[in-house]
Structure 1
Amino acid sequence: MSTKYLKRFFKPSCIAVFGASEKENSMGGVVIQNLQESGFKGSLYAVNSQGYEQVHGVSCFKRLSDLPEMPDLAIICSPPESVADIIRGLGASMVKAAMILTGGLSIADGDSSQTLRDEVKEAAKPYGIRILGPDCMGLLVPGHNMNASYSHVNILKGKVAYVGQSGILGTAMIDWATGQEIGFSHFLTLGDGADVDMPSVIDYLAQDPYTHAILLQLNRVDGSARDFLSAVRSASRNKLVLVLKNDTFVGEKSGTELAPGIHDDDQVYDAALRRAGVVRVETSDELFNALETLTRMKPMRGERLAILSNGTGPNALATEKLLEQGGQLAKLTEDSIAQLSEILPSHWNRSNPVDLNADADPARFAEAVRILTKDKNVDAVLMLHAPTRLAPSVETADQVIQIARKTPRNVLTCFMGRATAIEARNHCNSAGISTFLTPEESVDAFMHMVDFHRNQDVMRQTPPPYIEQNTPNHVKARELIQTALSEKRDYLSHAEACSLLDLYDIPVSNTYYSHSIDEIVQHSATIDSSVRIKALHKQNVYPFSYDHQGSQRWRDIAYDLYSATEVEHATTQLSYRLAESHSAEEQMGFCIQQMKRGFQSLQINVGITRDPTFGPVIVFGAGGHTVDVLADRHVMLPPLNMALAKELIRQSRICQIIQENSYRPEQDIEHICQLLLNLSEMIVDLPHLKCLEINPLLVNKAGLLATDVAVSLSDEEGSLSISPYPEHLTEEVTLKRSGRKAIMRAIRGEDEPNHLEFYNKLSPQSIRLRYFYSRGVPTHQELANWTQIDYDREMAFIISVPREEDHGMETLGVVRAVTDADNVRSEFSVVIRDDLQGEGLGVALMSKIIEYCKGRGTLQIIGSTLPSNKGMQNLAKKLGFENSFNVEEDVVDMKMMLNSPTEDWQKIRLNLPH
């Protein structure tokens, strides 16, 4: 996730284009012409071994060494076989950024299995040169007057950054956006992604003040899924992020590697993008509409939509689409209804959606829009227009535009038709008003914004209080896994799998095991109800082992056996079937359980699987011995908290079944949530756990009960895509003055209520010294950003002690450090409660954050404080910081070197001699 040298791509002062000529099909020639036409103000050169004097009026040189100056950015359009040598020459000349537009580098290099792309990466490695591409379309930065691409048109200046993986789709987007008068702050495609990857670019754009939204076109996630999600989650906290995820494979997906138990990897991508707080669009049409929306829409006030049209047909289409997608129709106030009644026929419907009637003229449209934008129950207005002689499209557009410009609410327009509607839509485009072709597209665009805010709300939900887990049992669980791995097994036996669930407080049905039919019959006599017998063998010991009919695993089970004769007959049949299909070494005997089908039990399938891209995921849905267990399977990335667990349950039809049939739905959902949290804890604790399936998990009046479970293992540790809570950083400290025992640990989302209480106990002076200005009570969104942090990117440690009155915890102080993407600098801040000065909290917290940053390889830790804050300055000096007065900012800067830089670019960033 490094952004070093990316400025050389986006803001170069000198560019050299390799392989440029004036031939008709010269890609390099097109790039030079585009740079000239975009008004690039820096130095521009062409390099071509043919020895041209000029290319389109730009000076051309035969070799890199002949250039009067070395470029910040080299653009390579040369033949594939020459690219690696060009990269070596650039590296030797200390050029640090190269963009490769040349394609065809994925082919093998001669007789070697190594591709030309691999050779290019090897050539760049010794020099630290960053490479964008190969096979990218280039990049466009209107704010820097730079069109360094082979695009057929330039782009307008705007506030949206576009990052794609497909060059051709990128050129189509440019053409469409130019026609719609939509601009971009940055536009680039990554091509083959040999070096500069999407997380790096997202990090760069997230810091760019001129980029307000980011639109990603994604075929697949290359490299680290954790880096990708971390970058997207960070960007989405401050900017709107939309993603078009394409299907990587065309035609049959037989070659696609899927996680066990997942029939479509799109499920996992959906879960990952939701967890990152972004909105996914499914088609290129949706992408264009999403770009229209996020470019022109004002900040969202809410999701209550008012719809109006000059006919019931368009209103019905829009309303049906809105309700189908879970949108919300605004309920108009009586005042609005009264005002509308003055301009509408007496027979109007007096509700939302509003039918203006076929005789509506432009003035009626505009007045109705004005009234609806003043309604306190309306957050946005959608105006649908069908052209009539009384309401010409252009005149209607012009009058509605005047109203839309004056309101803080969003007004979306839809001018249906073509002949006269095109000019009306053009007027809206020029005025910066969102406009669409159909009612359905209009609602889709509005719902993209709603989905974004809903995802953000889910991401920022305050989790309930944290419950300490049973850590001694977790140690036993790790020992259980290690024992199986030491025996060269990639699975747990049924008995071991049940023991694993028991260690994580998941209730399991009492089970008896035996290889003997006679013993099974004898044991069944001790059970005072019907029994269930399962034949155990090498195949069904693995989770998610379904055949194409979905019935393979259920052929190994006999149900509802009451008498000893039934038990003997069923077990004998299972034994014969086992002998026919499995060798003696693969047979593992039988298990017998009491039947638990009664009490109106609901059957659930829940477990863990490992995705090739995103690592461990939790699966949840309907269960039982039916073919359709995959039809209601939903996934979520761990680690989970209670809010996320409830969201996963809400996605499944299980939630509705519980709400409709349980006499205690809240308690049942609470129990299932706790089980999901236990599975999440299991993933973090047991990295060698590959898959786990509980099917069925019974939910009834008695609570939860797992009746069948299977567990598989892997020698390779699973890597979570979202950094888990760093429990290992927790330690006990003793307060210096009072001698009280306190806990110092990383902050978590559950701390939000305590953090607000802590903030409210700070004096106005402490708040001013911490934030450099007086401020009010923080909002929920601010508190969520402070407590629900990405541990890969920032760290906050708190010190807390037990509260005597309610056995909860109260926060005494907090220290925070935010590290840049290159891990060069980390900026700290610290604040202690006023009534606890002298307890040694400042030293303890600062020492902790310094130790943490140093351990993760950060080079320098920095901070700033007001000149009047002598206490902070003295603490910094005591800990080894160098303090200096910053005249420009009127603050005292505090700096400490933690690790020595090893590369020149690090020394440059730190202003050190190199």
Structure 2
Amino acid sequence: MGTKYLKRFFKPTSIAVFGASETVNSMGGAVLQNLLESGYQGELMAVNSQGYEQVYGIPCVKALGDLPEMPDLAIICSPPETVPGIIRKLGANMVKAAVILTGGLSSLNAETKRTLHDEVRESARPYGIRILGPDCMGMLVPGHKMNASYSHMNIAKGKVAYVGQSGLLGTAMIDWANGHDIGFSHFLTLGDGVDVDLPSVVDYLAQDPYTQSILLQIDRVEGSSRNFLSAIRSASRNKLVLVLKSDVIRDQKVSHNVAPGLDDEDQVYDAALRRAGAVRVGTSDELFNALETLSRMKPMRGERLAIVSNGMGPIALAADRLLKKGGELSQLTEQTSNQLHDLLPDHWDGQNPVDLHADATPERFSETIRILSKDKNVDCILVLHAPTRLAPGVDTADEVVKVAKKTPRNVLTCWMGRATAIESRNHFYSAGLPTFISPEESVDAFMHMVDYRRNQKVMRQTPMPYTEQNGPNHQRAREMVAQALEEKRDYLTHAEVGDLLDLYDVPAINTHYADDINGVVAVAKSLGGSVAVKALHKDNVYPFCYDEKSNQRWKDLAMDLYSIGEVKHAVTKLAYRVGERYEDQDCMGFCVQQMKRGFQSLQINVGVTRDPTFGPMIIFGVGGYAVDVQADRQVMLPPLNTSLAMELIKHSRVFNVIQENSYQPERDIEQLSDLLIKLSEMIVDLPNMACLEINPLLLNKRGLLVVDATVSLGDAVEPAISPYPEHLSEKITLRRSKRAAVVRPIRGEDEPNHLEFYNTLSPESIRLRYFYSRGVPTHHELATWTQIDYDREMAFIISAPVKEGKGVETLGVVRAVTDADNIRSEFSIVIRDDLQGEGLGEILMQKVVDYCRDRGTLQIIGSTLPSNKGMQGLAKKLGFRNSFNAEEEVVDMKMMLNDPVEDWQIYRLQH
């Protein structure tokens, strides 16, 4: 993404500090001292209206105009009321980056009725100056020898980037990290975020070669949740991203901040971050331990853990924690067991965990680790140590360090205690080995890495083949919702919900409606057998209408009514109970169904809710009218494919029940997965659908059946993750062969066809596309190419039915990646060798040009080798300007699509 402007923040060649002085407690003075002490190599300047000649040896001027030259970066520590004016002057003088450390900009100006925060934003807008802060601690970049913050100490160079929203938590993290010899590639907090936001910084760090992992501390998600998740999804594909989400400012009416049907917004954040491929930590202790893990662990080989200790007590704590967290103990090979039997006491049972006994010497520890490190079933080793006279802490630690440095496997350590353990831990810090205080912390740290590995696996699973949607039915569903909104209704009637489910091929029970008791009796007679009756009123037409004690769900129901007498009696009681609570105009009659609660049926709750931050979400879990469904409420962000739908099911208790009781578990899981995908389609098709609840959904040997469902409506809201842009698909005919084909955006399901397409390319086509010769792409690469974020990039393919046989094949692909500010989009294109002359290149290029123009991109660019005359000719034909780039030895192709309307856009086009 386009984050080049952030180099002015992280790699400035000159810095001016506004408000710098040598007075006590001067923030500007502290920043200037930190810059000097960190060894910053660029030019430093100071600005202070008091007229100092110098500050800590740095020349100082009274005003911006007195500076000998304009700085790359301005750091503002001046009083709040002066900040908007300084920003305006910086912008007018073409300074493009500013960090505002000053706080207190949120107070309201009585005259202008605006906050200083708003005035800063307005002052910057005409000039395109980018702003970090206000009220941030600044930033530290050890690799650039820059400490541009008010931190009380500097940081060491490392490979983990820290981005936070809390300045004080940031300084605490610096203090802790220095005490553990842990360094950072970048360290900054964002403050109130006038301009530079978390997604932009994450995008920059994701491309930084010196950053291997990213640690985020967030109190809230500012701005677009789609941008937030897009940035994290992109970064987590290549780097481990850990997130500490805290709730610093909680609304007094917490329920207003929680999606309907959920009782904890943590569920939503867990689901959102997991969907983005990040790993969430729950406490500051976990955050510190995660930093320990990130800084010292080697790449994960797998997730099977071997545990070694000199006592069963620590082993029991670690193994119990591991199993509760869903971890996996290594199963030792026979060879490993035999070798350990020769080394260990006779009481050892030959299994993992490995108890070395209380008399274990340092040599026994090290030899055991050496043997385990050669076991093919062991991916990581956790060494627990409790101090004894025979196993002194420091000596044992030194032996462990020696063997750990010789193995590619990760070795985690936990030296329990304090008085004698501190020195041992310091030895591990110096050796670069992860070490922890308790067995539980050790396992939690290991599981952070396991969770990341699992998240990545889920993100890159190849979905099942795509099934075409029923367009006409979905259009009728949209019309139904539009009609309800036109009638000023924020819900669908019970009958309309049944029609909606039918339009999406969701099997639902036949339901009959009656206005009064006599009507119910007449329906019951016609149905025969046992019936169920539900009273409809203004409240239970909405999803998740039950109260805290789950009473609402059965208060309006009468079930298992076998005789007409029972029907009359039960419905009379229902009518009386409803009549006590509602006026006549709020009662909506009754719905009558045959009882379908079979002895072998599993009741499930499934539906859609809407979160204030992340928008529509799909929920799934155990259901029924008389159980606490929220006790098993699993959540996932749409859109879903088969892999994601199955992952949602596996997290629920429903999955275990199916596995243990169903005689066709695969069929049941497949049917539930299909249902979840249909709900995902509804979310995309019906942006005004606020919530949908299906409860209960019956699952038995006959399949699925919806017994009851409700739908509420609201303002149109898009999913936080961009759905597949079906509207961009169009049918075409190839020029020469007249073969029918489709040009459309790529899907994750296209991965197998994309591999076949790549394998048809000649070495020359590959060289012209990638500028070098390369081998067959891996699954990891193919997943990255096909499972794209449609907000950030676009890939159009031409797909056609296979000439002989079933299925479709890919004929060509064009890809466009657009920068974050929608200034430029860079394209690349490749066509199958045997299809040259069919006009595929022109079709794809015109498609991507139109797409970029329609989304407001200013310029589209590309590069090709000088020998690729065909591409150069096609570009020229379409209106590109071609020019030879002598520095890169390529031909640049550029086309303006839209005119810039603001000064900052013009500046960006020029640089």
Identify the TM-score tier after normalising by the shorter chain: over 0.9
Counterparts of 2:614 and 2:339 in 1: how far apart (Å)?
54
**Per the alignment, do residues 251 and 717 of structure 1 end up closer, same or farther by CA in structure 2, a change over 3 Å counting?**
closer
Offset at 1:472?
0.6
**Mapping for residues 431-470 of structure 1, pairs under 5 Å:** 431-470=431-470
Counterparts of 1:60 and 1:887 in 2: how far apart (Å)?
43
| Stretch moving more, 56-65 or 608-617 | 56-65
Q: Which residue of structure 2 lines up, in the alignment, with residue 379 of structure 1?
A: 379
Offset at 1:257?
1.9
**Mapping for residues 726-875 of structure 1, pairs under 5 Å:** 726-803=725-802, 806-875=805-874
Counterparts of 1:901 and 1:42 in 2: how far apart (Å)?
33
Offset at 1:627?
4.7
Counterparts of 2:84 and 2:818 in 1: how far apart (Å)?
34
Q: Which residue of structure 1 lines up, in the alignment, with residue 188 of structure 2?
A: 188
Offset at 1:121?
2.2
| Stretch moving more, 894-903 or 131-140 | 894-903
Q: Which residue of structure 2 lines up, in the alignment, with residue 551 of structure 1?
A: 551
| Stretch moving more, 87-96 or 290-299 | 87-96
Offset at 1:908?
4.5
Please tell me whether residue 395 in structure 1 is matched to residue 388 in structure 2: no
8 Å Cα contact 1:551/1:627 also seen in 2: no
Offset at 1:395?
2.4
TM-score normalised according to structure 1 size: 0.96
Deviations 1:161-187 (A, max 9, x none): 100011110000000111111111110
Letter in 2 for 1:728: H
**Per the alignment, do residues 348 and 574 of structure 1 end up closer, same or farther by CA in structure 2, a change over 3 Å counting?**
closer
Letter in 2 for 1:768: R
Letter in 1 for 2:822: N
| Stretch moving more, 63-72 or 743-752 | 63-72
8 Å Cα contact 2:303/2:328 also seen in 1: yes
Q: Which residue of structure 2 lines up, in the alignment, with residue 474 of structure 1?
A: 474
TM-score normalised according to structure 2 size: 0.97
Q: Which residue of structure 1 lines up, in the alignment, with residue 59 of structure 2?
A: 59
SS of alignment partner, residue 820 of structure 2? coil
Counterparts of 2:146 and 2:256 in 1: how far apart (Å)?
39
Deviations 1:442-485 (A, max 9, x none): 11111111100100111111110111111111111111011111
Counterparts of 1:681 and 1:730 in 2: how far apart (Å)?
17
Letter in 2 for 1:899: N
* Structure 1 unaligned residues grouped into runs of 5+: none
**Per the alignment, do residues 765 and 328 of structure 1 end up closer, same or farther by CA in structure 2, a change over 3 Å counting?**
same
SS of alignment partner, residue 733 of structure 1? strand
Counterparts of 2:579 and 2:374 in 1: how far apart (Å)?
77
Q: Which residue of structure 2 lines up, in the alignment, with residue 168 of structure 1?
A: 168
Please tell me whether residue 722 in structure 1 is matched to residue 721 in structure 2: yes
| Stretch moving more, 29-38 or 877-886 | 877-886
8 Å Cα contact 1:300/1:379 also seen in 2: yes
8 Å Cα contact 1:383/1:412 also seen in 2: yes
Offset at 1:157?
0.8
8 Å Cα contact 1:599/1:701 also seen in 2: no
**Per the alignment, do residues 418 and 599 of structure 1 end up closer, same or farther by CA in structure 2, a change over 3 Å counting?**
closer
Letter in 2 for 1:811: T
| Stretch moving more, 738-747 or 80-89 | 80-89
Counterparts of 1:568 and 1:659 in 2: how far apart (Å)?
41
**Per the alignment, do residues 911 and 82 of structure 1 end up closer, same or farther by CA in structure 2, a change over 3 Å counting?**
closer
Offset at 1:111?
6.6
SS of alignment partner, residue 569 of structure 2? helix
Counterparts of 2:74 and 2:709 in 1: how far apart (Å)?
57
8 Å Cα contact 1:160/1:213 also seen in 2: yes
SS of alignment partner, residue 257 of structure 2? coil
8 Å Cα contact 1:599/1:700 also seen in 2: no
Offset at 1:35?
1.1
Offset at 1:514?
2.0
SS of alignment partner, residue 815 of structure 2? strand
SS of alignment partner, residue 648 of structure 1? helix
- Runs of at least 4 residues off by over 6 Å: none
Letter in 1 for 2:328: Q
Letter in 2 for 1:869: N
Counterparts of 2:49 and 2:906 in 1: how far apart (Å)?
36
Q: Which residue of structure 2 lines up, in the alignment, with residue 148 of structure 1?
A: 148
8 Å Cα contact 1:549/1:627 also seen in 2: no
Counterparts of 1:162 and 1:332 in 2: how far apart (Å)?
38
Letter in 1 for 2:28: G
Offset at 1:805?
5.3
Q: Which residue of structure 2 lines up, in the alignment, with residue 305 of structure 1?
A: 305
Counterparts of 2:502 and 2:83 in 1: how far apart (Å)?
59
Counterparts of 1:45 and 1:297 in 2: how far apart (Å)?
41
Counterparts of 2:575 and 2:904 in 1: how far apart (Å)?
69
Offset at 1:436?
1.4
| Stretch moving more, 769-778 or 278-287 | 769-778
Counterparts of 2:616 and 2:83 in 1: how far apart (Å)?
39
Letter in 2 for 1:635: V
Deviations 1:663-682 (A, max 9, x none): 21111111111111111000
Please tell me whether residue 91 in structure 1 is matched to residue 84 in structure 2: no
**Per the alignment, do residues 111 and 568 of structure 1 end up closer, same or farther by CA in structure 2, a change over 3 Å counting?**
farther
8 Å Cα contact 1:312/1:355 also seen in 2: yes
Offset at 1:906?
4.0
| Stretch moving more, 22-31 or 723-732 | 22-31
Q: Which residue of structure 2 lines up, in the alignment, with residue 20 of structure 1?
A: 20
Counterparts of 2:139 and 2:882 in 1: how far apart (Å)?
42
8 Å Cα contact 2:158/2:182 also seen in 1: yes
Q: Which residue of structure 2 lines up, in the alignment, with residue 530 of structure 1?
A: 530
Counterparts of 2:141 and 2:619 in 1: how far apart (Å)?
42
**Percentage of identical aligned residues:** 71
Counterparts of 1:492 and 1:472 in 2: how far apart (Å)?
20
Letter in 2 for 1:770: R
8 Å Cα contact 1:362/1:391 also seen in 2: yes
Counterparts of 2:775 and 2:67 in 1: how far apart (Å)?
58
Letter in 1 for 2:190: L
8 Å Cα contact 1:766/1:831 also seen in 2: yes
Please tell me whether residue 81 in structure 1 is matched to residue 75 in structure 2: no
| Stretch moving more, 741-750 or 245-254 | 245-254
Q: Which residue of structure 2 lines up, in the alignment, with residue 417 of structure 1?
A: 417
Q: Which residue of structure 1 lines up, in the alignment, with residue 353 of structure 2?
A: 353
Please tell me whether residue 661 in structure 1 is matched to residue 661 in structure 2: yes
Counterparts of 1:442 and 1:21 in 2: how far apart (Å)?
46
Counterparts of 2:770 and 2:82 in 1: how far apart (Å)?
55
Counterparts of 2:240 and 2:462 in 1: how far apart (Å)?
21
Offset at 1:904?
4.6
SS of alignment partner, residue 519 of structure 2? helix
Q: Which residue of structure 2 lines up, in the alignment, with residue 319 of structure 1?
A: 319
Offset at 1:240?
1.1
Counterparts of 2:385 and 2:717 in 1: how far apart (Å)?
54
SS of alignment partner, residue 710 of structure 1? strand
Counterparts of 1:251 and 1:361 in 2: how far apart (Å)?
56
Counterparts of 1:113 and 1:533 in 2: how far apart (Å)?
57
Q: Which residue of structure 2 lines up, in the alignment, with residue 628 of structure 1?
A: 628
**Mapping for residues 637-716 of structure 1, pairs under 5 Å:** 637-714=637-714, 716=715
**Per the alignment, do residues 364 and 886 of structure 1 end up closer, same or farther by CA in structure 2, a change over 3 Å counting?**
farther
Letter in 2 for 1:322: L
CA RMSD of aligned residues (A): 1.9
| Stretch moving more, 173-182 or 544-553 | 544-553
**Per the alignment, do residues 84 and 875 of structure 1 end up closer, same or farther by CA in structure 2, a change over 3 Å counting?**
closer
Q: Which residue of structure 1 lines up, in the alignment, with residue 276 of structure 2?
A: 276
Counterparts of 1:470 and 1:330 in 2: how far apart (Å)?
48
8 Å Cα contact 2:684/2:718 also seen in 1: no
8 Å Cα contact 1:4/1:822 also seen in 2: no
| Stretch moving more, 35-44 or 773-782 | 773-782
Offset at 1:5?
3.2
**Mapping for residues 333-344 of structure 1, pairs under 5 Å:** 333-344=333-344
Offset at 1:883?
3.4
**Per the alignment, do residues 588 and 874 of structure 1 end up closer, same or farther by CA in structure 2, a change over 3 Å counting?**
same
SS of alignment partner, residue 373 of structure 2? helix
**Per the alignment, do residues 255 and 661 of structure 1 end up closer, same or farther by CA in structure 2, a change over 3 Å counting?**
closer
| Stretch moving more, 305-314 or 27-36 | 305-314
Letter in 1 for 2:326: G
